[in-house]
Amino acid sequence: MDINKMKDLSYDELRTLYREFLHSQNISKLTINTAYVDTFYLWRKGSKDLFWDAVIATDFENVARNGLIKALTENSTGNVKSLVNSYLSHLRRFRLFLASNGTANPTAHEREK
């Protein structure tokens, strides 16, 4: 599925596809559950556009980090500097999902290890 079709999906539809991808990646159930929620923090606390702008940005690391810092500062009582790295790592994994065209491909993940 191309990126534009993915962007047209609803929040729940996209999360369902992503969850299937996570299950194919040979990671723990706890990590899957955390990723399933934390990956979409920018969407929930900001907007769909903010989420997609960060995820597909050419300068992903800076755009995503700045968006997360802003959203976490406005919505979290935790330590923003420590939280941002966790949320950023989930967005990186989501970008791997996008690079896979939304398909489950466990062998690609195994090669990364």
pLDDT tens, residue by residue, 65-86: 999 999 999 998 888 988 999 9
Q: Model pTM?
A: 0.85
Provide the percentage of residues in the chain whose pLDDT is more than 70: 88
Report the chain's mean pLDDT, rounded to a whole number.
88
Confidence of residue 102 (pLDDT cuts 50, 70, 90): low
Give Cα separations from 35 to 4, 22, 48, 89 (angstroms). 22, 8, 17, 9
**With 80 as the cut, is the pLDDT of residue 101 above it?**
no
The pLDDT of residue 23: 93
